[in-house]
Amino acid sequence: MPINADYEYINAERAFFQAQTLDEKIRALEEMISKAPSHKGAENLRAGLKARLKKFQEKKEKAKSTGKTTKKAIKKEGFQIVLLGLTNGGKSQLISRLTNARPRVDSYPFTSKVPEIGTFDYEGVRAQMVDLPSIGSEAFDIGIANTADCMLLVVEQIEDLEKINPVLSRTQGKKIIVINKADLLEANALRKLEEKIKSKKLNAIIISAQTGFNIDQLKEKILSEMKVNRIYLKEPGKVVSKIPMVMRTSPTVKEVAEKIYKGFSTKIKETRVTGPSSKFPNQKVGLSHVLKDRDIVEFHGI
């Protein structure tokens, strides 16, 4: 926030972040420019705003002349996780931590112009991860987030959520608040932030995309939010398969058997289960038994 930003400017900025169309954004930016502080210290701010307005206007002209939008098509394949946040929050840095994608990480605002895509691959679960352009940038498009299974709201402070929440009205996936740049906090501030999360009952985690602090905990959280069910198969007398079957809802033994034996599951003589859904290891269960995440299933007699 600029020095001595007054109330009208803050309002205009809020309108800008909530704007969903190009026209609304242009209007809000014009308002921001007219309400921006006029003193010398805010020169950079005003120049930056004008440059952004110019870009939006150019984009509008382009859209008019070609008659189409500049959306990049992203196919949803299986599970999808979307990164959302304001510019500079650390989304690009985070997707490099969590996936094989290596987008540009930059302190210059609005670096990411197109969505970056990577594969999140953790404990047998694969998901497509999309790093969207920052909210407020001309390239931002909420469309993809509306159908995502999980959203990571990447922020530097809890207050940033006020600018993110308004665009989430049509999203359906689980939301995890990811408070980044923990490495910049002193122990005391970190503890206070943790307390705030607890008292407000926020589904939040404090991380550092740069140092890797709490990244494994974040990965676990993503898995538990997506409610994946990993079913490991074991052939009698052999070791457990390393790669699980991943299912969205808790499957029955019959559903798993049908996936493997396609129409022949009735030939199974006996099923043994070891894991969270079994009362004891190697429990004998029927076809209607409901399995849980991380169960090991062994089919006999087929």
Ligand X SMILES: Nc1nc2c(ncn2[C@@H]2O[C@H](COP(=O)(O)OP(=O)(O)O)[C@@H](O)[C@H]2O)c(=O)[nH]1
* Residue ranges in contact with Mg ion by CB under 5 A: 91-92, 112
Q: How far is the CB of 37 from ligand X (least distance, A)?
A: 24
C-beta closer to ligand X: residue 154 or 285: 154
10 binds, among Mg ion, ligand X, none (CB under 5 to 8 A by kind): none
Compute the least distance from the CB of residue 192 to ligand X, in Å.
18
**Partner touching 265 among ligand X, Mg ion, none, CB below 5 to 8 Å by kind:** none
Rounded-to-integer distance, Cα 6 and Cα 26, Å? 20
What is the smallest separation between the CB atom of 129 and ligand X, expressed in angstroms?
Answer: 13
Q: Which amino acid is at 234?
A: K
Residue among 77 and 183 whose Cβ is closer to ligand X: 183
Judged by beta carbon, residue 208 or residue 278, the one nearer ligand X is 208
- Distance, in Å, from the CA atom of 110 to the CA atom of 59, rounded to the nearest integer, reads 15
Residue nearest to ligand X (CB): 90
Q: Which does 221 bind (CB under 5 to 8 A by kind): Mg ion, ligand X, none?
A: none
Give the closest residue to 83 by CA, choosing from 145, 29, 138: 145
Nearer to ligand X by C-beta: 85 or 251? 85
Among ligand X, Mg ion, none, residue 271 binds (CB under 5-8 Å by kind): none
Binds 173, which of Mg ion, ligand X, none (CB < 5 to 8 A, cut-off by type)?
A: none
- At how many degrees (to 10) do helices 22-35 and 43-66 cross? 160
Which two structure tokens, joined as six digits, stand for 246? 């991943």
Question: Minimum distance from CB of 286 to Mg ion (Å)?
Answer: 51
Measured from the Cβ of residue 180, the count of other Cβ atoms closer than 10 Å reads 26
Least distance from C-beta 111 to Mg ion, angstroms? 5
Task: Choose between 91 and 289: whose C-beta lies nearer to ligand X.
Answer: 91
State the minimum distance, in angstroms, from the CB of residue 207 to ligand X: 7
At closest approach, how far in Å is the CB of 91 from ligand X?
3
Q: Work out what residue 93 binds among Mg ion, ligand X, none; the CB cut-off runs from 5 to 8 Å by kind.
A: ligand X
- Residue 143 CB-density burial (10 A; 0-12 exposed, 13-18 middle, 19+ buried): exposed
User: SS3 sequence, 193-241?
Assistant: HHHHHHHCCCCEEECCCCCCCCHHHHHHHHHHHHCCEEEEEECCCCCEC
Pick what 89 binds: ligand X, Mg ion, none; C-beta below 5 to 8 Å, kind-dependent: ligand X
C-alpha 156/C-alpha 178 separation (Å) is 8
Given CA atoms 288, 255, 284, 244 in this order, what sign does their dihedral have?
Answer: negative
Q: Could you say which DSSP state residue 276 is in?
A: T
| Residue 156 or 258 having the CB closest to Mg ion | 156
**Torsion angle of the four alpha carbons 29, 31, 34, 35, in this order, in degrees rounded to the nearest 10:** -110
Q: Which residues bind ligand X (CB under 6 A)?
A: 85, 87-93, 105-107, 111-112, 134, 180-181, 183-184, 208-210
Report the nearest approach of ligand X to the CB of residue 26 (Å).
22
The helix or strand, by DSSP H or E, that contains position 8, with its residue range, turns out to be helix 7-18
The entry of ligand X, Mg ion, none near residue 278 (CB within 5 to 8 angstroms by kind) is none
Of 134 and 229, CB closest to ligand X: 134
b or e along 105-119 (b: 16 or more beta carbons within 10 Å of the residue's beta carbon)?
A: beeeebbbeebbbbe
